[in-house]
Structure formats: C-alpha cells, structure tokens
Amino acid sequence: MLRQINSDALLRFALQEQVFTAGEAMAVTGLTRATVLGVCDGLVAAGWLEEVDGSPAESGTHKGRPARRYQLRESAGVVVGLDAGETHFTTIVADLRGRELGTRRRNIDSHVLGRAGRGAGARELIDLTLRDIGRAPDDVLLTVVGVPAPIDANGMSPEGEFWQLMNSGFASHLHGMVVVENDANLAAVAEGAHEPSANQATLLTGERFGAGLIVDGRLLRGPRGGAGEMRFLDVLSASKLVPDEGGADGFGALARKWARSRIRSYSGDTVLRQLPEGEINAEDVFRAAREGDSFAADIIARLGARLARIAVVLSSLLDIERVVIAGGISRAIEPVLDHARSLLPGDSGLPLPALVASTLGAEVVVKGAIESALTRVRREPNAFLPRAARS
C-alpha cells in the first residue's frame, strides 16, 4: 500500500511537469531520494516515465554524475472528450498534460440513428480523430462523454425515451474506461477551470436549457442527476404564470420560435422578412438586432427578461456569485446580458450575481470532458494502465 501511495504521488507530480529531477520530485512529494529513484525506476518499467539525458548546461557546471532526469512518456496514452449532443458529435483527443492533439465534429440525427447508431457513430468519429494524429484505440486511457440528460453518480439516466436515447450505452462501444456525464455539468467544469469560482451557475442554452451548478466549490448532482435540469421553467410555462416562455427551451430555440411565429403579425419593417419564414434561426435574429432591427430587438429584450428571472431564482436559492451563459450562442449573447442586468432588482438586500458570457464557445462541453478526464487521471493515476503495460 505504501508503494502504491508513493507511486501515485510521484505520478501526479509527473503529470503536471515537463522534465524533472529526483531533487525536484523530493521537494514536492516529501519522499526521500532513494524512494523517488526506486519509484521512478518502477514507473519507467511500467511505461509511465522515461529517463532523459541531462541538459548540456548542467553537464558543464557540475562535477560528478549528473542528476537523473525523467519525463512523462508521450506514448503512455491519451484522453478523449466527446460532446454527444442530440444533433452533433464533437470530439477532442488530448495528451495527458491537456494539450489538444486532434478534433473533429459531425452533424447527426439521433432519432434516425437510435441508441446503437449513436454509439457506433461516436466510436467511428473518435477512431478517425485518433487516426488523424497517428494514435490507435489502445492509446486511449479514458473517454468522458457529455450528454443532454440527467446523469447519476453511476452514469445512469432516469427512465424516459429521450434521456435513454441520449445516454446511449457508450461504454459498450468506446475504447478504454468510459465515463458519462451531463453536458451542462461538463460545461461548468470547463468554466471552472477557465475562471475558477466557488459559487457559479453555468447555463448551457441552445435548443434546451441546462445548468451546471457549483456551490461551495462542489458540483451539485442530486440522487438521480437532476440538479440543474431547470424543470421549474416547465412549471411556469404550463401554469401560464409567464406565457409563451417555451418551458425549458434554450435561448437559441426561443429566438427562432418567437421570430417565426410573430413575424407575420408584425406591422413594422424588419430585415427578417427577407428570409424564408421557415428558415429563420437564432443567428439571424441576433444579427438583425445588431443592425438595429426593432423586431429582433424586442426578442432580445424578452430573452433578457427571461434570463433576469432565472438569475434571481438561482441566486435566491443557491447564493451564487456568477451566472455564465455557455454554448455556441454565447458569442452573440451580450445584448441579452445587458438587458438582463438592467432588470435585476437593486433592493434585494443581497449581492446579485454577475451575468457573463462564456468565451469557450460551442466547444465548452467537450473541453469540460477533457478537463474532467485529466482530473480523474491525476487524482488516481494508477487506476489506469499505460499502453506499454497493456501491450
């Protein structure tokens, strides 16, 4: 057990360093020189580390035998992140220090593919990405998959046709160890790594609304993975307390729906009339608003009012400090944020959360998947076997 503990400590250090000496490892891990050298020899034999030659500068300034130097073996393995959305797959392959080696994206129709087709399609896309960078399936230590469904601590989703379709049994299709996680939770992980905050809600909003909630530095999940599912929006819509709000529809879906449904009854001028009604999308609405279109500006204002209500609810319940709007729509969301900020009550007696746009764009989920994979490997590296040990 002691050997395992020492090995874990040294591997965690190696995963965050470039080239290191025994002395540098001793200073961080607190292990003795003899222990460090012995553990390093074992990790070299296992395929995790490799010994490298001393630097030329060092060899010219020191007498006697130069210090032994080690580094993580590049061929030890890679991690994979997969954003397995309803209409797209995006994957990134990264090395064990988090450097992105390859990425691919593919549009899909999940309802045509079915569960088996989603699993097979994910495997094919990952295999192509591995091939792009000269890696093989055996190189994969861990794949983290983000799906638009509640996920409990065991990677399972509640009963429901849509949720079961999204959580498609990826472990039986993909290489190495596989972890399935809610996509909004992974977005929260990515945002937390990019700009740490102990109390933050990350709202992943496109077609649907989902929230990744970090409170007191911990990601909230719930016994069935339902934390952050935003079901209260469905209740408000169904009870008509807030009419025409679209339940848990995301900003992208709402902008499109409101534009298509109301443009025929709008009496003023709008550039959106130049487009076929059935083809107007959220990007068209945001672009028209930037050009001063009053019809599109009204939609932006309605989205801002919706966001302000959501921010007040989350702040009241969870005392969060930041609300981050994430996903592909985040790059155009600033006008919505401006309007929402203007509507937040100033007499609540408590500090109101900051409303900010993510800078990670449409890749926020897959970047969170990579961050989650690296965290798992660093936390318990000896739970994984480098490729050399599996050959």
Same domain, 231 and 347: yes
Residues 232, 209 contacting (CB under 8 angstroms):
no
In the prediction, which pLDDT does 348 show? Answer: 65
Strand bridging mode 140-147 / 177-182: parallel
How far CA 250 is from CA of 95, 204, 215, 359, in Å, comes to: 33, 8, 23, 18
**Last residue of one domain, picked from the residues 14, 41, 72:** 72
In the prediction, which pLDDT does 239 show? Answer: 45
Same domain, 33 and 113: no
Same domain, 348 and 284: yes
User: Domain tally for the chain?
Assistant: 3
Query: What's this model's pTM, rounded to 2 decimal places?
Result: 0.89
Q: What is the CATH number of the domain that holds 230?
A: 3.30.420.40
Residues 286, 300 contacting (CB under 8 angstroms):
yes
Cα 237 vs. chain centroid, distance in angstroms?
Answer: 29
**Last residue of one domain, picked from the residues 39, 72, 105:** 72
- pLDDT tens string, the chain, 391 residues long: the values are 888 889 999 999 999 888 999 899 999 989 999 999 999 999 999 999 999 986 555 545 555 567 889 999 988 999 999 999 999 999 999 999 999 999 999 999 999 999 999 999 999 999 999 999 999 999 999 999 999 999 999 999 999 999 999 999 999 999 889 999 999 999 999 999 999 999 999 999 888 888 999 999 999 999 999 888 877 776 655 444 444 555 678 898 899 988 888 887 788 888 888 888 788 888 899 999 999 999 999 999 999 998 998 998 899 889 999 999 999 999 999 999 999 999 998 776 677 899 999 999 999 999 999 999 999 999 989 889 898 777 6
In the prediction, which pLDDT does 237 show? Answer: 52
Cα 38 from Cα 342, distance rounded (Å): 62
Same domain, 7 and 94: no
Task: Output phi, psi for 206, to 5 deg.
Answer: -145, -95
Same domain, 320 and 232: yes
Same domain, 8 and 116: no
Same domain, 336 and 229: yes
End-to-end CA distance of the chain: 25
Task: Give the count of alpha carbons within 13 A of 215, CB side only.
Answer: 14
In the prediction, which pLDDT does 194 show? Answer: 93
Cα 202 from Cα 206, distance rounded (Å): 13
Q: Minimal CA–CA distance to 311: which of 262, 334, 345, 276?
A: 345
Same domain, 35 and 172: no
In the prediction, which pLDDT does 238 show? Answer: 47
Q: What is the CATH number of the domain that holds 39?
A: 1.10.10.10
Same domain, 339 and 255: yes
In the prediction, which pLDDT does 327 show? Answer: 93
Strand bridging mode 19-21 / 69-72: antiparallel
Same domain, 177 and 319: no
Q: Could you tell me which residues are beta bridge partners of residue 177?
A: 142
Residues 11, 43 contacting (CB under 8 angstroms):
yes
Task: Give the count of alpha carbons within 13 A of 95, CB side only.
Answer: 14
**Last residue of one domain, picked from the residues 32, 48, 72:** 72
Tell me the DSSP string of 173-212: TSSSEEEEEEHHHHHHHHHHHHS--SSEEEEEESSBEEEE
In the prediction, which pLDDT does 236 show? Answer: 58
Same domain, 275 and 149: no
In the prediction, which pLDDT does 242 show? Answer: 46
Same domain, 205 and 340: yes
Domain that holds residue 47: 2-72
